[in-house]
Amino acid sequence: ISIDSTSFVLHTSITSGSKESYDPVKVIESFACVPIDILVHSSKEWTAGLSLVANSYSSNGIFLAGDSCHLFTPTGGFGMNTGIQDVYNLAWKIAAVYFGWVDTSSDILSSYEAERRPVAIANTMFAK
């Protein structure tokens, strides 16, 4: 992934047990199909397949959305898309209460968690 046309990020998997012999330059050259002169600034390990979903999306008028309430492996844009959908769902509900579009006794804000948490749980299954 190009960061600024001169710096790049590459995410790749390594097979189990090959961590000790992992050479990031050789991995990059295998993608380029030719030897290249590069400087690797860092090489970090992370584990795919982790997922978390908050038990509750709100407490005492404080709401969580996006990465603050769910975490999944970055597969297919599930994290970003789910977060944007969370915020959209919550924002119009807050606006509805603020501008008086709904009765103040409405449970519209409590519907946020009921609607969005099951989506996050389902998406953790897809993002593994």
Q: What is the pLDDT of residue 88?
A: 98
pTM of the model: 0.66
In Å, what is the CA distance from 17 to each residue of 12, 22, 42, 66? 15, 10, 20, 34
Task: State which fold the 51-126 domain adopts.
Answer: FAD/NAD(P)-binding domain (3.50.50)
Q: What is the pLDDT of residue 2?
A: 54
- Quick check: 127 and 79 in contact, CB under 8 A? yes
Q: What is the pLDDT of residue 16?
A: 64
Q: What is the pLDDT of residue 10?
A: 76
- Quick check: 89 and 66 in contact, CB under 8 A? no
Q: What is the pLDDT of residue 41?
A: 82
Low-confidence ranges of the chain (pLDDT < 50): none
User: Which sequence spans correspond to the domains of the chain?
Assistant: 1-45, 51-126
The H or E element spanning position 63 is: strand 62-63
